[in-house]
Amino acid sequence: MTLAPHAPAAPEPARPALTARALVVEFPVGRGQKVHAVSGVDLDLPAGRTLGILGESGCGKSTVGRALIQLPPPDSGTVRLGAEELTALGPEELRRARARIQIIMQDPVSALNPRRKVKDLVWEGPSIWGRAAADKDTEVDAILRAVGLDPETVRDRRPHELSGGQCQRVCIARALMLDPEVLICDEPVSSLDVSVQAQILNLLETTTRERGLSMVFIAHDVSVVKNISDEVMVMYLGKVCEVLPSDGMHLAAAHPYTRLLLASLPEAQRSGDGSPAHPGASAEPAVVAAELPSPLDPPSGCRFRTRCPLATDRCAAEAPGLREIAPGHRIACHHIESTRSLP
């Protein structure tokens, strides 16, 4: 069964829930060197929609997610949550604003305090914001039921008495407790078993729809990101290579790196009937070098050029900017015309 998109696609522009401009995050590593984790990322999340951020480890996708909630704040650039500019707020104002934007981490077990009971973990946010303890039991039970847990069984348990999937449901309950506008999910299913992954993905899908939540969904798995998102942003080594609508992205993707990600996907995940995603996709992807360059000293120009089969001198000299090639489809590549020939 297919759910309708969160908001009707036609009346654009939707009210932005979260906007980021020119985000830069760098980590000094001593001897004057620094890791260029995120180098100038723009991001737009319309209200009620889901934006997927896709990339391999080291591409800066998690750093972007953390910069959005100011953990830590970006070195430069702006983040706006609705009308409020998070990057310009003082500590107390930021603390208040953070209740409106919540994050769900990859490892649910380490995200929970092992010594606290589920009911206290879930009520932690409201208790900090001074909600009356009289409401605690009814509200905690309601939210636990909403995330598919049986309050009777789990209310008084501690995280070690729960499975990974149950812990992730508790984390989702914690995030929802404060009624946020934006949910950031950083690889929420990668530490879970295959059969449990689908449960959690379905829960996120129905929750965001029912509550009208906007979500940033960060993951490395193309088919997972495609399934949950309205729009997908592909990152490589701290920069955005491509932004495109998720519907039909496996056919429309034009950036050589996105094509490589799609070609690396096991056959079973490309399409249901086992046919290749692209005509002729069974051919080997023509990748020059396999290794991710060091983020300490990223390549000049286009950062993907060291692995790109289409790279020319221009790619080394000049960093490509994002250009719109179709409505809602932007790509940072000098050789857009040639990318269609790739597997």
In the complex, the residues that contact other proteins under the rule CB under 8 A are 1-6, 56-57, 163, 165, 193-199, 201-202, 205-206, 209, 220-224, 226-230, 246-247, 249-250, 260-274, 277, 284, 287, 290-292
CB of 187 to other proteins, least distance (A): 13
Q: Under DSSP, is residue 157 helix (H, G, I), strand (E, B) or coil?
A: coil
Given a contact cutoff of 8 angstroms between Cβ atoms, the answer to whether 226 and 262 are in contact is: no
Q: Which is nearer to other proteins, 22 or 288 (CB)?
A: 288
Q: Nearest CA to 300 among 249, 239, 254?
A: 239
CB of 287 to other proteins, least distance (A): 8
Q: Which is nearer to other proteins, 206 or 341 (CB)?
A: 206
Give the number of other CB atoms < 10 A from CB of residue 46: 20
Burial 211-233 (b: 16+ CB within 10 A, else e): eebbbbbbbbbbbbbbebbbbbb
CB of 317 to other proteins, least distance (A): 25
Secondary element (H or E) of residue 62? helix 61-68
And the tokens for 290?
């396999």
Q: Which is nearer to other proteins, 272 or 280 (CB)?
A: 272
CB of 192 to other proteins, least distance (A): 9
CB of 41 to other proteins, least distance (A): 20
CB of 58 to other proteins, least distance (A): 8
Q: Under DSSP, is residue 342 helix (H, G, I), strand (E, B) or coil?
A: coil
Interatomic CA distance for residues 63 and 92, integer angstroms: 23
Q: Nearest CA to 203 among 280, 271, 152, 146?
A: 146
Given a contact cutoff of 8 angstroms between Cβ atoms, the answer to whether 285 and 343 are in contact is: yes
Q: Which is nearer to other proteins, 86 or 185 (CB)?
A: 185
Q: Which is nearer to other proteins, 93 or 267 (CB)?
A: 267
Given a contact cutoff of 8 angstroms between Cβ atoms, the answer to whether 54 and 232 are in contact is: yes
Amino acid at 212: G
CA atoms 120, 121, 122, 125: torsion sign = positive
Given a contact cutoff of 8 angstroms between Cβ atoms, the answer to whether 41 and 60 are in contact is: yes
Interatomic CA distance for residues 207 and 271, integer angstroms: 26
Q: Which is nearer to other proteins, 74 or 238 (CB)?
A: 238
CB of 169 to other proteins, least distance (A): 12
Given a contact cutoff of 8 angstroms between Cβ atoms, the answer to whether 45 and 214 are in contact is: yes
CB of 21 to other proteins, least distance (A): 26
Interatomic CA distance for residues 122 and 178, integer angstroms: 10
Q: Which is nearer to other proteins, 101 or 201 (CB)?
A: 201
Q: Which is nearer to other proteins, 56 or 107 (CB)?
A: 56
